[in-house]
Amino acid sequence: MNFAMARLEYKLTNDTLFKMLFVKHPELLKRLVAELLGLNFDSIGSFKIRNPEMPPEYLGDKFCRLDITMTVDGQRVDLEVQVQNEDDYPARALYYWAREYSTALSEGEGYGELPRTIVISIIDFELFACAEFHSDYRALEATRHTQLTDKFNLHFFELPKLPEAISADRGLELWLSLFKAKTEEELARIEALEVPIMNQTIEAYRNVAVSPEFQEMERVRSKARHDEAQALGHARREGLLSVARNALEMAMPIENIVKLTGLSQEEIEGLRGAN
């Protein structure tokens, strides 16, 4: 096989694959979270996935999020994977944090019992104007930089900023390189380092990617994404046609309407003929 030409059909940033893999293999998820949060793996006492379900009836919903929420030694941790920059991601990450934090208080409990809440975002685009691939946001006073509370924490890991070189002794970068990998060649480079947990994860990834369960779930998710894109495209075209009709009523020259809307001269003349 020519690894250089063999692109992965599904990257680990695929939300369906990401969730199925780590729900099926919580021991791998625990290792990943330890690296992402800079924790000693053996120091983690309690670890529980709070939302392991992937209800088929919701997979086709465009609002369905396939994140993984956990409780890690009493802390609430939300792990998100995002592949597209929709210009509002910091606000969305803050919303995810607020929702996790605000729903953690049981009836009768005081505010002081709210747990530390952490949102971890692995993102496949550049978000911040910095060279570092990891950004760690906390609640600090603006001039003294003293911490208001330890209960607020947002981590962002920007995959495009990862260094090209990989090393067996840099666990965090190895894990993130798995998410960044686009080809079999890149996976083979990681496997060649012979780090047991990495090879175990790659094997689990490959098994999940070819499983009938994943294939069916991805079919449903792909159809939902396609239908959404088609609906948005239709709405955009209808909007341009409406602009063109209004411009025609205002006697704007056709060449100007073409520049304004991007529609062809034939399409615009057809609108004039239909009026």
252-270: per-residue pLDDT in tens? 888 888 888 888 888 888 8
Q: Is 218 part of a structural domain of the chain?
A: no
pLDDT band at 71 (very low <50, low <70, confident <90, very high): very high
255 and 192 within one domain: no
Q: In the predicted model, what is the mean pLDDT of residues 186-200?
A: 97
pLDDT band at 248 (very low <50, low <70, confident <90, very high): confident
129 and 20 within one domain: yes
**pTM higher than 0.85:** no
195-226: per-residue pLDDT in tens? 999 999 999 999 999 999 999 888 877 776 66
Q: Is 178 part of a structural domain of the chain?
A: yes
Q: Is 63 part of a structural domain of the chain?
A: yes
Q: Is 38 part of a structural domain of the chain?
A: yes
More confident residue, 270 or 69: 69
Residue ending a domain, among 210, 239, 265, is 210
Instruction: Determine what percent of the chain is predicted with pLDDT higher than 90.
Output: 67
Q: Is 215 part of a structural domain of the chain?
A: no
145 and 56 within one domain: yes
247 and 146 within one domain: no
Residue ending a domain, among 210, 235, 265, is 210
Residue ending a domain, among 158, 187, 210, is 210
Indicate if the alpha-carbon torsion angle 168, 45, 200, 122 is positive or negative: negative
69 and 200 within one domain: yes
230 and 205 within one domain: no
Q: In the predicted model, what is the mean pLDDT of residues 80-89?
A: 90
pLDDT band at 5 (very low <50, low <70, confident <90, very high): low
Q: In the predicted model, what is the mean pLDDT of residues 101-108?
A: 88
10-24: per-residue pLDDT in tens? 999 999 999 999 999
Q: Is 219 part of a structural domain of the chain?
A: no
Q: Is the pLDDT of residue 58 over 90?
A: no
Q: Is 99 part of a structural domain of the chain?
A: yes
152 and 80 within one domain: yes
Do 71 and 50 contact (CB within 8 A), yes or no?
A: yes
Look at the chain and report how many structural domains it folds into: 2
Q: Is 216 part of a structural domain of the chain?
A: no
Do 91 and 126 contact (CB within 8 A), yes or no?
A: no
138 and 194 within one domain: yes
Query: Quick one: pLDDT at residue 65?
Result: 76
Coil, strand or helix: which one is 82? Answer: strand
Indicate if the alpha-carbon torsion angle 28, 29, 30, 31 is positive or negative: positive
114-124: per-residue pLDDT in tens? 999 999 999 99
Query: Quick one: pLDDT at residue 274?
Result: 62
What is the 8-class DSSP label of residue 128?
S
238 and 154 within one domain: no
Rounded to the nearest 5°, which phi and psi values hold at 122? -100, 115
**In the predicted model, what is the mean pLDDT of the chain?**
90
157 and 237 within one domain: no
256 and 155 within one domain: no
Strand order in the sheet with 134-140: 47-49, 68-72, 75-82, 117-123, 147-158, 134-140
Query: Quick one: pLDDT at residue 219?
Result: 86
142-162: per-residue pLDDT in tens? 999 999 999 999 999 999 999
Distance CA(151)–CA(159), nearest Å, equals 26
131 and 60 within one domain: yes
Distance CA(258)–CA(266), nearest Å, equals 10
Provide the domain limits for residue 192.
Answer: 3-210
